[in-house]
């Protein structure tokens, strides 16, 4: 009887987490969309009413563009998550070579890495592989690596590290950037976490890591974040 109660309690907690995630997602999308379109309307009406000059209008465009890109990324992330919740989505495990993953992201982030003069390295067994869903793993690593680049300073290094011990494969993205202050670390995967600008002024909405955790769970893996302010962050994924 006790085991049954514990099992039911775990299921209830899982459902509560899922409901909280969905409600937070809807709230975030609603808030950010209202803010973005509100800014669009304000700047257009201000120009029409001649309450701002054309020079001021064009000076505001970079910020409007940045906000639009942020909202577009939010929609993209939300769409990726929704695909795993409805329809016939199923995990499709396959053997994925680590070096294939490394070269994929090395090419994808070539421009951003060059802009910040950041060097991207692989550390581990070049013949190693992990068995999991490629779509989800690439999404997860993409978001983690994006944060690593965002919060790294020009000229620093970023590592994709692989460690295999027995049946467990650990993939880590290691950076030496701004890190996360201890007071914010407990809220990393919640909607209460603070959102910070990158070292080059890049913006985010704080949504990606919430979806990352959800996707890691779908892959039956675990995620761990170790971070020290002004020293860097290591995000590790554990698969068995």
Tens digits of residue pLDDT in 97-151: 999 999 999 998 998 899 999 999 999 999 999 999 988 898 899 889 988 999 9
Helix 2-48, helix 208-218: angle, nearest 10: 150
Mean pLDDT in residue range 187-202? 64
pLDDT above 70 covers a percentage of the chain that reads 73
Whole-number Å distance between alpha carbons of 165 and 18: 32
Domain spans, the chain: 2-83, 93-239
Rounded mean pLDDT, 18-36: 62
Mean pLDDT is lowest, of 53-57, 86-90, 120-124, for 86-90
Is 93-239 CATH 3.10.350.10? no
Phi, psi of 33 (to 5 degrees): -65, -45
Residue 24, pLDDT above cutoff 70: no
Calculate the average pLDDT of the chain: 81
pTM > 0.95: yes or no: no
Residues 231, 181: contact at Cβ < 8 Å? Answer: no
Residue 204's nearest CA partner among 196, 213, 192 is 196
Instruction: Specify the pLDDT at position 64.
Output: 76
Residue 155 pLDDT grade (very low, low, confident, very high; cuts 50, 70, 90): very high
At residue 65, the 3 state secondary structure works out as helix
What number of CA atoms fall less than 13 Å from residue 115's CA on the CB side?
11
Is pLDDT larger for residue 154 or for residue 46?
154
Q: Quick check: 223 and 212 in contact, CB under 8 A?
A: yes
Of the pLDDT bands very low, low, confident and very high (cuts 50, 70, 90), residue 46 is confident
Band of residue 204 on the pLDDT scale cut at 50, 70, 90:
low
Nearest to 200 by CA among 95, 81, 118: 118
With bands split at pLDDT 50, 70 and 90, how would you rate the model's confidence at 168?
A: very high
Q: What is the pLDDT of residue 63?
A: 72
Q: What angle is formed at CA 184 by the lines to CA 178 and CA 189, rounded to 5 degrees?
A: 105
**Alpha carbons 186 and 237: distance in angstroms, whole number:** 18
């Amino acid at each position: 009887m006790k085991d049954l109660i514990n099992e039911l309690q775990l299921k209830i907690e899982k459902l509560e987490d899922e409901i909280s995630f969905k409600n937070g997602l809807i709230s975030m999308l609603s808030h950010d969309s209202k803010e973005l379109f509100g800014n669009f309307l304000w700047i257009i009406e201000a120009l029409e009413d001649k309450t701002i000059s054309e020079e001021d209008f064009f000076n505001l465009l970079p910020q409007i563009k940045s906000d639009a890109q942020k909202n577009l990324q939010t929609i993209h992330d939300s769409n990726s998550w929704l695909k795993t919740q409805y329809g016939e989505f199923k995990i499709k495990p396959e053997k994925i070579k680590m070096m294939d993953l490394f070269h994929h992201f090395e090419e994808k982030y070539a421009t951003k890495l060059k802009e910040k003069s950041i060097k991207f390295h692989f550390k581990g067994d070049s013949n190693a592989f992990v068995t999991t869903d490629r779509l989800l793993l690439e999404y997860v690593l993409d978001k983690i690596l994006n944060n690593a680049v965002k919060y790294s300073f020009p000229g620093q290094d970023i590592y994709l590290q692989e460690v295999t011990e027995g049946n467990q494969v650990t993939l880590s993205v290691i950076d030496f950037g701004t890190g996360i202050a201890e007071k914010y670390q407990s809220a990393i995967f919640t909607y209460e976490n603070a959102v910070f600008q990158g070292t080059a002024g890049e913006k985010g909405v704080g949504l990606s890591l919430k979806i990352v955790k959800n996707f890691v769970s779908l892959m039956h893996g675990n995620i761990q974040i170790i971070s020290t302010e002004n020293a860097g962050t290591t995000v590790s994924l554990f698969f068995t």
